Copies of this chain bind each other. A is one copy, B any other.
Amino acid sequence: MRVSAEDFDPGAELARLEALPGGAIASFTGLVRDDGGLTALHLEHYPAMTERAIADIVAQACARWPLLGVTVIHRHGTLPVGARIVFVGTASSHRVASLEACAFLIDWLKVSAPFWKQERRSDGTRGWVEAAGADDARAKAWGK
């Protein structure tokens, strides 16, 4: 688990998970998407809470699925269009466990990791991204 301004290498992260004995690796990578006019996202976070929140989410996933390895990387700072923001990787002996845990982790990161995205647009404007109700609903669908 890492929270960092630095970029990361998804291939190297997958290789680390593949080296575990599980045999089933799922991953999700989120990048800054060009929605027309966006130049960068600035990610602010609450450092003292972030590590705790992510460790808590990972512990929930490990309690729920038989995981052999979990990698969560979340960047902060100013990230241009096309930059990687977040990576979740899971390793298990069971295909379904790795897939479900990966989806669970990214859904929960969306609603319970203390990050806030600000859009920086080519016309010079800045605006905080509003939380999507759909993310909340999807995270709640996992139950507790």
CB contact list, A6-46 vs B, under 8 A:
9-12, 14-15, 18, 21-34
Query: Chain B: which residue is nearest A103 at the CB level?
Result: B99
Contact check, B106 vs A95: say whether CB atoms are below 8 A apart: yes
* SS class, residues of chain A in contact with chain B: mixed
Partner among B11, B21, B93 whose Cβ is within 8 Å of the Cβ of A10: B11
Partner of A98, one of B9, B22, B28: B28
Each complex incorporates copies of this chain amounting to 2
Beta-carbon contact of B11 and A34 below 8 Å:
no
A138 in the interface (beta carbon within 8 A): yes
A117 CB, min distance to chain B CBs, angstroms:
12
Contact A24 to B14, CB < 8 A, known contacts A99-B102, A99-B106, A102-B99 = no
The docked-state distance in angstroms from the alpha carbon of A28 to that of B22 is 13
In whole angstroms, what is the CA distance A126 to B24 when docked? 23
Residue A96 at the chain B interface, CB threshold 8 Å: yes
B33 touching A29 by the CB < 8 A rule? no
- A67–B28 CA distance with the chains assembled, in angstroms: 15
**The residue from B18, B29, B93, B96 contacting A29, defined by CB atoms under 8 A apart:** B18
What CA separation (Å) do A133 and B53 show in the bound complex?
38
The residue from B14, B26, B82, B98 contacting A14, defined by CB atoms under 8 A apart: B14
